[in-house]
């Protein structure tokens, strides 16, 4: 614990604290027949987060939380491993594994240093997990190490645009004005929140992914349906119908 980076220690305490209030969303996710994504429940048809050819492949979820995403991969025939920094989130995941009769390894640890050999996965995924709460300059090289040549990395996080437009006050939704600089975006701390988030500009994501041997296949800007609902106060439907508040990066590790 003491040798963990400071942001990982802080985020561990935060997520151990928040785990109880995330259990219900985990239960819903595990019970869903069809996947949906992000804070508005955008369809898999729009997001295409799960590769079609996953059966028999090795997959890892980086920051799996309650592991409902992992459960969707496992049900599509993947051999899944979930890793999460919070033992309390994993306790919910383990309870839901038992309830649904689905068993796959759940590791308690930091997605920036995963205890698995090089090139042991074909697919890595994160939905608001490591891609938001871990340092991209640590977890992206780690994902590159873990993936086999040709392996895919898909991650969904807040859009850069929304982060620029989000006020510091707790519970106040994104505005139509830019409130912070884009240049220098990396570690972000909100005054009312003890956690540490990480956000990059699009140029920085592109350079980081390419520097670690990835080709970028897509950047999907998610648009919620007209009647979509969210339990999160940080963005309104009116805003999210006009501008992307969530984005999915899709990258592939180059062959050879």
Choice from 47, 78, 80, 83 touching ligand SAM (CB under 6 A): 83
Total number of residues that touch ligand SAM (CB under 6 A): 24
CB of 69 to ligand SAM, least distance (A): 5
Q: Find the radius of gyration of the CA atoms of the chain.
A: 17
Using CB under 6 A as the binding rule, whether residue 128 contacts ligand SAM is answered as yes
Kindly indicate which of the ranges 35-43, 110-118, 144-152, 180-188 contains the residues binding ligand SAM, using the contact rule CB under 6 A.
110-118
Q: Give burial (CB, 10 Å; 0-12/13-18/19+) of 148.
A: middle
Choice from 39, 81, 130, 146 touching ligand SAM (CB under 6 A): 130
Using CB under 6 A as the binding rule, whether residue 158 contacts ligand SAM is answered as no
CB of 159 to ligand SAM, least distance (A): 16
Choice from 30, 39, 47, 63 touching ligand SAM (CB under 6 A): 63
Choice from 38, 49, 97, 112 touching ligand SAM (CB under 6 A): 112
Using CB under 6 A as the binding rule, whether residue 26 contacts ligand SAM is answered as yes
Using CB under 6 A as the binding rule, whether residue 22 contacts ligand SAM is answered as yes
Using CB under 6 A as the binding rule, whether residue 86 contacts ligand SAM is answered as yes
Convert 69-114 into a string of H (helix), E (strand) and C (coil): HHHHHHHCCCEEEEEECCHHHHHHHHHHHHHHCCCCCEEECCCCCC
Given the rule CB under 6 A, which residues bind ligand SAM? 8, 11, 15, 22, 26, 63-66, 69, 83-86, 89, 110-112, 127-130, 133-134
């Amino acid at each position: 614990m003491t040798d963990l980076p400071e942001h990982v220690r802080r985020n561990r305490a935060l997520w151990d604290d928040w785990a109880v209030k995330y259990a219900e969303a985990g239960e819903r996710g595990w019970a869903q027949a069809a996947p949906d994504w992000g804070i508005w429940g955008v369809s898999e048809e729009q997001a295409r987060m799960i590769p079609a050819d996953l059966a028999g492949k090795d997959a890892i979820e980086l920051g799996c939380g309650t592991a409902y995403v992992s459960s969707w991969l496992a049900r599509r025939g993947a051999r899944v491993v979930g890793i999460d920094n919070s033992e309390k989130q994993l306790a919910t995941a383990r309870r839901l594994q038992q309830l649904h009769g689905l068993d796959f390894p759940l590791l308690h640890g930091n997605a920036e240093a995963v205890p698995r050999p090089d090139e042991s996965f074909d697919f890595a995924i994160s939905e608001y997990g490591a891609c938001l709460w871990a340092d991209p300059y640590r977890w992206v090289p780690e994902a590159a190490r873990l993936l086999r040549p040709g392996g895919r990395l898909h991650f969904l996080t807040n859009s850069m645009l929304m982060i620029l437009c989000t006020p510091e006050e707790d519970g106040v939704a994104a505005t139509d004005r830019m409130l912070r600089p884009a240049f220098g975006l990396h570690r972000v701390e909100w005054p009312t929140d003890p956690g540490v988030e990480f956000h990059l500009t699009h140029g920085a994501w592109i350079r980081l992914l390419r520097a670690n041997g990835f080709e970028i296949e897509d950047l999907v800007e998610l648009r919620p349906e007209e009647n979509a609902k969210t339990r999160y106060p940080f963005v309104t439907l009116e805003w999210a119908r006009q501008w992307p508040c969530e984005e999915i990066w899709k990258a592939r590790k180059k062959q050879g």
